[in-house]
Amino acid sequence: MPTDDDLQALRARTVALALAHAPADGHHATALPWLRLIRASAPALPVPAIYEPGLVLVLQGRKQARLGDRVVDYDAMQCLLVPVTALPRGQVVEASLDKPYVCLRLSCETQALAELLLDGDAATDAAGADAGLHVAPVTAPLLDAAQRLLQLLHSPQDLKTLAPLVQREIFYRVLTGPLGPRLRALAQGDGMARRLNRVIEQLTRRFAEPLSIAELAALAHMSPSTLHQRFKQLTALSPLQFQKSLRLQHARRLMLADGLDAASAAHRVGYESPSQFSREYRRLFGAPPRMDVGQLRGGG
């Protein structure tokens, strides 16, 4: 069994590998479309965020996510499972130039998880659909697999064949650990978590379109009142609040990345009233669109 010193040495090697592929602050794509690296050199204020389904392994530093009334802290001793798209307020709370916050994020697909369940003996009981962020301790086998995955980024000739095997191992470790019931619920059959995930996927794909509660409830095979209750239990938002937050966050990205003005971004994400967009944007981000984007660009 690995000692604490062994685990610390393994983590140090994994951090070094991650930083080599994330040389500056920000989100970094890799040669693997399902693997991203995130780095931050200083603590930050809490900001609305989109957490897509996947597994987050913090290698150094600490982060906090608030989903409704629930606050989740996760650091280098823990991994975070995001079973379905979640919209928390995220905040890096421990980071420095010498020891930046660094994590790797692996996206997960329900089909791949279902195949893993069929092929293996990951026999954990399915969980219910409750608040959609879950943490558990990082084990030595899980951290070792993460290190080997990062090492493969230095071996392009091996990446295509071996990386999917290591990805499979990582999710196997999760399925057979304390987070297994949460991940299993997402992959199995037509359970509550799976039906709610269909609604979330629909909202995520069609956030700019007018969607009725009746349409979403039919998709989930629930009554509108049951959908509202179960959806809020899982995401801390009603379906329409969830859609609104998605719209506003995508509009923010359009203004930052594509240079759209507020009115154009509002129209692109489904708003008919620029004044309504500005009010709701300020409510979510704490400043009107032009001021917020200017601050993010360092212009004010």
Nearest-angstrom CA–CA distance, 118 and 212 = 36
Task: List the chain domain ranges.
Answer: 4-187, 191-300
Cα dihedral angle (12, 15, 16, 20), rounded to 10 degrees? 180
Q: Which residues pair with 26 in a beta bridge?
A: 39
Nearest-angstrom CA–CA distance, 85 and 218 = 20
Query: Class of 4-187 per CATH?
Result: mainly beta
Cα dihedral angle (10, 15, 96, 296), rounded to 10 degrees? -150
Q: Which of 96, 56, 51, 55 is nearest to 76 (CA)?
A: 56
300 residues of the chain, pLDDT tens digit each: 678 788 889 999 999 999 999 999 999 999 999 999 999 999 998 999 999 888 999 999 999 999 988 899 999 888 999 888 899 999 999 999 999 999 999 987 666 666 766 665 544 444 554 557 899 999 999 999 999 999 999 999 999 999 999 998 998 898 888 988 877 776 665 677 788 889 999 999 999 999 999 999 999 999 999 999 999 988 999 999 999 999 999 999 999 989 999 999 999 999 999 999 999 999 999 999 999 998 887 754
Query: Class of 191-300 per CATH?
Result: mainly alpha
